[in-house]
């Protein structure tokens, strides 16, 4: 009989408190970008995201609500954050190629901020999606399989990390950063359809944002 895969081991659940801080930073960054690009009304996306974040915190802290409701709130929050970035990207493209109340430097700053916020959002999405979420991963994936396979989880790489190794948010942040720069997987492979769809969406948004940023930078350079 084949040995049980390393990722099936049970480990403590990763704390959501640092993730809450990241979500707040994302919302703050999106609010600034929305205000800069005149996304009206400015409060809509940040307001909805804040309500979902508060509801998610309440559900996870109480531990009395059914888990499906908690997962639905987490996914809904990520979807709203991605939608807000998509709307801001549309306004950024309009501002660069059609016209905007922002000056060239302002549009460039908004584009750079949008790119970094996008990296943080998709790191959060990978963290929530992979293997059914942090609780499922801690429980040995609870009958699921990894959506993203790290080198430490591969059979031929056993011994390069402790037997109880599990990816943390910072690992997913690295995945998001490399995907946004390379526009493709690097050392972490998406193995399921939903992981491929998420990574593909990030690649498209990152490429479009960087293309607009570069276009704005070239215009500034040419005066």
pLDDT in tens, 155-206: 766 667 787 889 999 999 999 999 999 888 888 999 999 999 999 999 999 9
pLDDT at 77 over 50: yes
pLDDT at 38 over 80: yes
In a domain, 210, yes or no: yes
C-alpha span between 51 and 72 (Å, rounded): 14
In a domain, 10, yes or no: no
Q: Which domain holds residue 93?
A: 15-221
pTM of the model: 0.90
Q: Mean pLDDT in the chain?
A: 86
185 dihedral zone (left: phi>0; alpha: psi -120 to 50; beta): beta
Number of structural domains found in the chain: 1
pLDDT at 208 over 70: yes
In a domain, 9, yes or no: no
pLDDT at 150 over 60: yes
In a domain, 7, yes or no: no
Would you state the pLDDT for residue 114?
A: 93
pLDDT at 50 over 90: yes
Residue range 111-128: mean pLDDT, rounded: 94
Q: Which of the four pLDDT bands, split at 50, 70 and 90, describes residue 1?
A: very low
In a domain, 6, yes or no: no
pLDDT digits (tens, 9 = 90+) for 129-142: 999 889 889 888 88
In a domain, 1, yes or no: no
In a domain, 2, yes or no: no
In a domain, 158, yes or no: yes
Asked if residues 145 and 191 have their Cβ atoms less than 8 Å apart, the reply is yes
pLDDT at 66 over 70: no
């Amino acid at each position: 009989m084949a040995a049980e895969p390393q990722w099936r081991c049970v480990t403590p659940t990763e704390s959501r408190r640092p993730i809450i801080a990241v979500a707040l930073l994302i919302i703050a960054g999106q609010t600034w970008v929305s205000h800069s690009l005149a996304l009206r009304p400015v409060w809509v996306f940040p307001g909805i995201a804040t309500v979902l974040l508060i509801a998610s915190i309440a559900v996870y802290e109480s531990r009395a609500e059914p888990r499906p409701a908690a997962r639905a709130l987490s996914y809904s929050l990520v979807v709203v954050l991605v939608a807000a970035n998509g709307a801001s990207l549309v306004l950024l493209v309009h501002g660069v190629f059609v016209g905007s109340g922002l000056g060239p430097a302002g549009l460039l700053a908004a584009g750079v901020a949008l790119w970094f916020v996008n990296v943080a959002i998709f790191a959060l999405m990978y963290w929530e999606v992979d293997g059914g979420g942090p609780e499922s991963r801690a429980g040995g994936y609870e009958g699921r399989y990894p959506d993203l396979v790290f080198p430490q989880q591969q059979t031929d790489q056993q011994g390069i990390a402790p037997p109880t190794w599990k990816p943390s948010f910072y690992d997913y942040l690295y995945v998001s950063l490399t995907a946004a720069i390379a526009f493709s997987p690097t050392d972490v492979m998406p193995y399921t359809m939903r992981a491929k769809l998420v990574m593909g969406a990030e690649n498209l948004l990152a490429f479009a944002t960087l293309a607009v940023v570069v276009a704005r930078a070239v215009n500034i350079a040419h005066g």
